[in-house]
Homo-oligomer: A and B are copies of this chain.
Amino acid sequence: MAVTIKDVARVAGVSPATVCRALTTPELVRAPTRARVVQAAHDLGYSPNRAARGLITGRTGNLGLIVPDLANPFFPSVVKGIQARAREAGYTVFLADTDEDASVEAELVRALSKQVDGMVLCSPRMIEDELRSIAGDKPMVMLNRRVGRIPSVTVDNVGGMRQAVAHLTALGHRRIAYAGGPRSSWSNRERLRGLRAVAPSAGVQLVEIGNFTPQFASGLAAADLVLAADVSAVIAYNDVMALGLLNRLRARSVNAPTDISVIGIDDVALAAMIDPPLTTVALPKQQIGRCGVDLLLALMENPDRVGVARRELDTQLMVRGSTGPLCRT
């Protein structure tokens, strides 16, 4: 059996109430008494039962975190940021992976919400209505998506696309393909919006290749469509798809950057490990996580200001080997 507050009280020769105070509000206890309590607690290896505490304080000291797919290298980075920031703030985190399934997501939100002080939803798949109906319960922040007045941390997708297009046009490209992500993805819609807004004024023709699941195999499939589209450059919804593109293009003897330029989005670690390294729009992945936790903590202090809590982080094009000047043939 674990050691409880009563054990400490007995050993220290005081009441449980005093033990509690000595440990949580030391200034309310006379120094010598406090010392005895602390000593006893230490000797017994006492540490308070958080569940019991939570029962009465209403705070659990836990945060919930829901991600769509840990196998996508983008998410572990975000999770790492969240976990690190939460630990600094004295919180532990519940992690759940939904396997990209929106119904699982809803179920998990409901289940977890009972045991946490707040939740971070990473790239949520749920439909807006559902999201709203659940959001009322516990404070929660969304990452990589904006819905109604739910607090969120997002990145400047439009700015990222602007940088990408500027880079390509500077290199001479005038016809650029976009291999899109899932139609339901907020990030994809934003990226597309950015591209559509930027392309005309940059004097480039945008060719939308279609919507794909954000996977390697999708990049493979997209590559053939890209080749048929007669473009000199392609922007992919994310790095993993860009890798698929690169792979299949090379299989068809079209090499980056000489024959075609390829840009990814995310800047996952492996983007810099391949040859040629992938030019990509970097997202501050860990910072997205840290920032999300910061927002959540602020919200938990002051639940009223929910509506205004919103952060947008910068993106940065990383120019690497997969893009190069247009070769006029």
Contacts and interface: CB of A to CB of B under 8 A. Distances in A.
Nearest to A270: B270
Contacts of A55: 49, 51-52, 55
B84 A80 contact: no
- Number of copies of this protein chain within its complex: 2
Interface in A72-115: 73, 75-77, 79-80, 83-84, 87, 92-97, 99, 110-112, 114-115
B96 A115 contact: no
A112 B92 CA distance: 8
Contact of A216 (B52, B250, B269): B269
B60 A79 contact: no
Contacts of A94: 62, 92-95
Interface size class of A (residues with CB under 8 A): 35 or more
Interface of A: 2, 47, 49-52, 54-55, 60, 62, 65, 70-71, 73, 75-77, 79-80, 83-84, 87, 92-97, 99, 110-112, 114-115, 137, 216, 240, 243-244, 246-247, 250, 269-270, 273-275
10 contacts: A47-B110, A47-B114, A50-B114, A51-B55, A73-B270, A83-B96, A92-B112, A95-B95, A216-B273, A240-B273
Q: Which 8 A-B pairs have the closest CB atoms?
A: A95-B95, A51-B51, A70-B76, A76-B76, A70-B80, A270-B270, A243-B273, A83-B97
Given A93-B94, A246-B275, 16 more contacts: A47-B110, A51-B52, A51-B60, A55-B55, A71-B76, A79-B95, A79-B97, A92-B96, A92-B111, A92-B115, A216-B273, A243-B270, A243-B273, A243-B274, A244-B273, A270-B273
